[in-house]
Amino acid sequence: VNKYIYLNNAATSYPKPQSVISAVNAYLNSIPFHSQRTGFDLQQRDIINDCRTKLAKLINAENQNRIIFTSGATESLNLAIKGLSLDEGHVVTTSMEHNSVLRPLKHLEKDGYIELSIVESDEKGYVSATAIEKHFKKNTKAIVVNHCSNVTGAVLDLESISRITKKNNIIFMVDASQSMGVLDIDVQKCGIDILVFTGHKSLYGTPGIGGLYIDEDIELKPLKTGGTGIKSELLYQPKEIPLYFEAGTPNMPGIAALNAGLDFIFNTGKATIKNKKEEIITEIYSGLTSIEEVQLQSIFNSEFIPQIISFNIKGISPNEAGYILENSFGIIIRAGLHCAPLIHKNIGTFPEGSIRVSPSFFTTIEDVHSLINSVQQIRKMEVKN
Ligand SMILES: Cc1ncc(COP(=O)(O)O)c(C=O)c1O
């Protein structure tokens, strides 16, 4: 029996569906007949193809070979940001980005490869297409936006952003780390050129697996070169996609887990998962708003229920509150800047950050009641002090 209540699913999801654990187990218990991916090991190839097919279906990608496996969103973002020919052009991003977007871009800027503009979000962490468009210049080559903030849960309107990128002939890159598996994403409808995802959050996979979708019209240089299991006589990377980007032995247990995670999503239904999470978030939101000392940073209204709630308790630092929640009440949340430093300046929580609660499909109403009771008790402790 687990004595903890886990509310840190925006970092990594827990628990994983039993079918995911079984898939990893089954993979590790079977003989890897051939360590190369194009040998005789049909089972291994089937898992990779199956997983690519399901990912393409989830985001409505026309060609599943345009889905590339990586070790996670961080590698995907590095591949995409460093692999584009930006030719000292201008790139636009937002203050709601994770460091896995900000740091590669800031390094390219520092080294003189790009000019960078960062669009500030509003006080709830939202960035509109109009705010982004104001930063476009004649030499703007690409934009990188976070679909769903890992701090406030704010969700950007990809369709309206895509209209302005198409109008201005700008490459449209989206970080879907927080949204894929829960929110609808249609790369064709939203005109997305590059979509980045990670496997261990709402896709229920294991840490160390992720990927990206690259539109047919986009040219990228690979981040790494090496063995592909095909054309081994060549001393240069074979151009066949997806292998062009996938040098090295693939993370098979990770792909097997992701494959089973995707089955879980399709079998349960995306709408069912989203509705359940919204029900839980609504309960958390109403519990927290009833506590006077709680300051909430997430948008929540009749038209929008976020996946994540960020808040602070007056008079206590988020880190201290996080420590007490974990050590006195057995509730795991995340406190601090959540690897997204700039948004905190917009929402008024810099430099200490916020308390972030991120439930999953498996969170129960009882878990929520424990959280609310614990926050009430922490507040009382503070009043006494
Ligand atoms: C919005 C966002 N982008 C990127 C990442 C990086 O994902 P990973 O650590 O799996 O590479 C995360 C995960 O924390 C995230 O929340």
Is the distance from the beta carbon of residue 175 to the nearest atom of ligand 1 less than 6 Å? yes
Q: How far apart are CA 93 and CA 74, in angstroms?
A: 16
pLDDT digits (tens, 9 = 90+) for 41-55: 556 668 999 999 999
What's the confidence (pLDDT) of residue 381? 82
Q: What pLDDT, on the 0 to 100 scale, is given for residue 34?
A: 54
92 Cα–ligand 1 center, Å: 19
Q: pTM, whole model, 2 decimals?
A: 0.96
**Whose CA is closest to atom 7 on ligand 1?**
73
Which residue CA neighbors atom 13 of ligand 1 most closely? 11
pLDDT, residue 14, reads: 98
Please give the full DSSP string across 222-265, using - where no structure is assigned: -S-----SS-TT-SS----TTGGG--S---HHHHHHHHHHHHHH
State in Å: Cα 188 to ligand 1 middle: 23
Cα gap 247→232, rounded to integer Å: 12
Predicted pLDDT of residue 35: 47
Per-residue pLDDT reduced to its tens digit, 282-340: 999 999 999 999 999 999 999 999 999 999 999 999 999 999 999 999 999 999 999 99
Find the 321 Cα to ligand 1 centroid distance in Å: 24
**Mean model confidence pLDDT for the chain:** 95
Give yes or no for residue 261 CB within 6 A of ligand 1.
Answer: no
Residue 155: strand, helix, or coil: strand
Which atom of ligand 1 is least distant from the CA of 72? 11
Q: In which residue ranges of the chain is pLDDT below 50?
A: 1, 35, 39-40
**CB contact at 8 A, 27 and 51:** no
